[in-house]
Amino acid sequence: MDDRKFSPLWIGLIGLLVVLIAVAVGWRLMRGDGSLLRDGMVHDAAITPNADGESDITGISYTLADNATVSIYFEDEAGERYYFREDKPRGAGEYAVQFSGVVDGYVLPDEEIDGEILSRLLRDGAYEWRITAVGEDGNMESANGSITIANADPELPELRNFTLNKETFTPNRDGIDDRVQAQFFLSKGVKSVRVYLLTDEGLEIPVSELERDVPANAIGRHYFDYEGGVDHGETPPPDGRYPIIAIAEDDEGQKVRVESALTIAYGGVPRADIFAPPTGDTFIVDKTAVVLCDTLYFTMTVQNYGNTPIRTTGPEPGTVYDSDWNYNTLGWHTESGAWRVAVGYENELSNYPYRWAVGDMDSLEKIGAYYYLMPGDRATITGGIRLTNTFGDRNPQPVWAGLIHEDVEISQFNTHVDPKAILVDLPDEGNLEACEPRDIPMKGE
């Protein structure tokens, strides 16, 4: 063998030695003198955190040689501590963060603040800063120095007098307690305000601000409106009690949080239709030809196939209209959010002039002062129209059923349901006589 050549064994040993030396050097560089915490420092001796763009922030940096729990805090001359980071787990490595004078929220002596201060600027003064690291073996190391805070903005972004206009809210488009409003007075101009409902799963559902004279994020009273998403066809959160939370953050990063509680009941998107049986008519009339001054009677069935009650209003099923009356004649004016069955015809002067409740007292449930057809229930409605004249200009006249969600909609499948051609049998003009007058069945009588 040529003794000037190395064997593969020697080459492998030399390579391993080089790797070990490199690891040792790297470990030495990381561990320095064996300490856990290295190079801990706050870069500037003074800052002026007032969001004027000059000396607002400083850097904080440190290096960990191993896993550790880190805290960064500032201590005033009275020994009071203000935490920027408290007991945060960190892995080995280099760390750098910007510090703008904002620490965890605190309350000054004799200070009364609505809600909770989440973060707040340090007050003007001299502080000792300290970075501590506690290793997995319980050993603690620290670095410290001094910093001066000057010209800090002393005013918090307070949300004063945070209130809801109701404690119980029923988002189901019945016209009763369908919306809730939150309001507060904002003490200063801020960068942002968030208002939201917090679900049991931790989901934040935003609540929108109402446009008023006071611009968003400006000093003054603000109003936020929530309808559970029902106006957009969305299902509201399940019935229950939820926190409504508002958080304001100013330009310096100070944050204040307020909270109230809201109960959701009978929530849901209302859904109902005129029930179509497997066979036979949906809109049942007792005749298709009516002698003048005689009455046309009808029957139809309404079903609530949604997951929330639907509110209704009168007149009661069985009420008989004269053909020249309408629901206003009887004193049952439009009620936003109420459901009513109706009869319309082609030349009507007003939309669906004849209207009835979607059930009688035996079919409905009273909730508060109002009556509802409950989810899954059906109700059969009857009524009549005495023909004191023809239905408009045509004879025979197309007549149909409808289901109206007043001031909300008449859905496509609930309008012009099952039309019937109704003939009013008129005598010749020489024998026309006025129908016998009768009292109008007024609301409340």
pLDDT in tens, 413-438: 999 999 999 999 888 777 778 899 99
For residues 133 and 37, the answer to whether their CB atoms sit within 8 Å is yes
Indicate the burial class of 51 (C-beta count within 10 angstroms; 0-12, 13-18, 19 or more). Answer: middle
Q: Where in the chain are the domains?
A: 32-149, 159-264, 272-431
pLDDT in tens, 383-414: 999 999 887 778 899 999 999 999 999 999 99
Mean pLDDT (the chain) is 92
Query: DSSP characters for 180-198?
Result: EEEEEEE-S--SEEEEEEE
Query: What's the fold here for domain 272-431?
Result: Immunoglobulin-like (2.60.40)
Angle at 432 between CA 426 and CA 437, to 5 degrees: 100
**Alpha-carbon distance values, 408 to 231, 334, 360, 385 (Å):** 9, 11, 23, 26
Tokens of 3: 């003794």
What pairs with residue 300 in β-bridges? 381
Residue 216 pLDDT level (bands cut at 50, 70, 90):
very high
Tokens of 223: 């109003």
Is domain 32-149 in CATH 2.60.40.2550, yes or no?
A: yes
Residue 23 pLDDT level (bands cut at 50, 70, 90):
very low
pLDDT in tens, 265-323: 999 999 999 999 999 999 999 999 999 999 999 999 999 999 999 999 999 999 999 99
| Residue keyed to tokens 């049942």 | 284
Q: Whole-angstrom Cα distance, residue 80 to residue 99?
A: 19
For residues 432 and 424, the answer to whether their CB atoms sit within 8 Å is no
Q: What is the mean pLDDT of residues 101-126?
A: 96
Q: What is the mean pLDDT of residues 67-78?
A: 97
Indicate the burial class of 74 (C-beta count within 10 angstroms; 0-12, 13-18, 19 or more). Answer: buried
pLDDT in tens, 73-101: 999 999 999 999 999 999 999 999 999 99
Is the confidence at residue 167, as pLDDT, over 70?
yes
CA torsion angle 404 410 412 416 (round to 10): 50
Radius of gyration for the alpha carbons in the chain, expressed in angstroms and rounded: 38
Tokens of 96: 């750098």
SS3 181: strand
CATH of domain 159-264: 2.60.40.1930
Q: Whole-angstrom Cα distance, residue 297 to residue 357?
A: 16
- The residue type of 78 is A
pLDDT of residue 28: 45
Residues 6+ apart with CB under 8 A from 376: 304, 305
List the single range of 2-6, 83-87, 198-202, 388-392 with lowest mean pLDDT.
Answer: 2-6
- pLDDT > 90: percent of the chain: 85
| Residue keyed to tokens 């400006």 | 218
pLDDT in tens, 38-53: 999 999 999 999 989 9
pLDDT in tens, 235-269: 999 999 999 999 999 999 999 999 999 999 999 99
Q: What is the pTM of this model?
A: 0.82
Is the confidence at residue 19, as pLDDT, over 70?
no
- φ and ψ at residue 309, rounded to 5 degrees: -65, 150
- Give the DSSP H/E element, type plus range, for residue 298: strand 295-304
Q: Whole-angstrom Cα distance, residue 56 to residue 295?
A: 84
